[in-house]
A and B are shown apart, each in its own frame.
Chain A
Amino acid sequence: MMVEIIDRGAATVVVPAGEVDLEHSPRLRRVLTELMLDHRTVVVDLGGVSYLDSSGIASLVEAYQLARGGAGRLTLANLSPPALRVLRLARLDQVFAIADTVDAALGSGS
Chain B
Amino acid sequence: MGPGWSQYGGMDLAELRPDLPPPLAEDLDIIAEMTADFARSRNIEETLRRGLGRICASVGAEAASLFLTDGETGELVCRACCGPVDVTGLRLPRGRGIVWRAVAANAAQLVRDTRHDPDFAATVDDTTGFVTRSILCAPLSVRDERLGAIELFNKRDGGAFGDGDRRLVQALAASAALALINARLAAAMAEQEAFRRELALAADIPRAMLPGVLPDSFPIHGVNLPARGVSGDFFDVVARPDGRIAFALGDVAGKGINAALLMAKTASLFRCLAKRMDRPGAVLAAIDAELAETGASGLFVTMVAGVLDPAAGQVVLANAGHEPPLLVSPGAVRPVDGGLPPLGVVPELFTAGCPDSTVSLDGGCLYLFTDGLSEARDGDGPMLGAAGVAALLERFAALPARRRLEAVVAALPGGGALRDDVTLMAVEDRR
A positions within 8 Å CB-CB of B: 21-22, 29, 53-55, 57-59, 61-62, 64-66, 68, 89-92, 94-95
Complex interface: chain B residues within 8 A of A59 (CB): 298
**B residues neighboring A (CB under 8 Å):** 232, 251, 253-255, 297-300, 302, 321-324, 339-342, 345-346, 349, 371, 375, 419-420
User: For residue B375, which residue of chain A has the nearest CB?
Assistant: A53
10 A–B pairs (Cβ distance < 8 Å), ordered by A:
A53-B371, A53-B420, A54-B302, A55-B253, A55-B254, A58-B299, A61-B345, A90-B341, A91-B342, A95-B341
Instruction: Report the minimum CB–CB distance from A85 to chain B (whole Å).
Output: 10
Q: A21-B419, A54-B251 are in contact. Are A92 and B298 (CB under 8 A)?
A: no
Distance A55 CA – B300 CA, assembled complex (angstroms) = 10
Which of A55, A62, A90 counts the most B-chain CB atoms under 10 A from its CB?
A: A90
* Complex Cα gap A66–B341 (Å): 18
Asked whether B253 lies within 8 Å of A91 as measured between CB atoms, the reply is no
Tell me if A55 and B255 are in contact (CB < 8 A): yes
- The reply to whether A58 and B253 form a contact with Cβ atoms under 8 Å apart is yes
Closest Cβ of chain A to B305, distance in Å, is 15
User: With A92-B345, A95-B345 as given contacts, are A61 and B254 in contact (CB-CB < 8 Å)?
Assistant: no
A91 with B341: CB separation less than 8 A:
yes
CB-based contact A65/B297 at 8 Å: yes
Q: Which residue, A64, A65, A94, has most C-beta atoms of chain B within 10 A? A: A65
Q: What's the count of A-B pairs with C-beta under 8 Å?
A: 60
Return the chain B residue nearest A59 by Cβ: B298
Residue of B nearest to A54 (CB): B253
Q: How far is the CA of A94 from the CA of B340 in the complex (A)?
A: 9
Distance in Å: Cβ of A36 to nearest Cβ of chain B: 10
Instruction: Name A58's contact: one of B300, B324, B419 (CB within 8 Å).
Output: B300
Given contacts A54-B251, A58-B253, A91-B339, contact A66 B375 (CB under 8 A): no
Instruction: Report if A90-B302 is in contact (Cβ < 8 Å); known contacts: A54-B251, A54-B371, A65-B345.
Output: yes
Most buried by A among B254, B323, B349: B254
Decide: B321 and A92 in contact? CB cutoff 8 A. Answer: yes
In the complex, which of the residues A21, A54, A57, A68 has the most CB atoms of chain B within 10 Å of its own CB atom? A54
Query: Closest Cβ of chain B: how far from A30's Cβ, in Å?
Result: 12
Query: Which of A29, A64, A91: most chain B CB closer than 10 A?
Result: A91
Enumerate chain A residues within 8 angstroms of B375, measured Cβ to Cβ: 53
**Smallest CB-CB separation from B340: which chain A residue?**
A91
A56 to B300, CA, bound (A): 12
Chain B residues in 8 Å Cβ range of A22: 254-255
- In whole Å, how far is B269's beta carbon from the nearest beta carbon of chain A? 20
Residues on the A chain within 8 Å of B340, using CB: 91, 94
Bound Cα distance A92, B343 (Å): 11
Q: Which residues of A contact B420 (CB under 8 A)?
A: 53
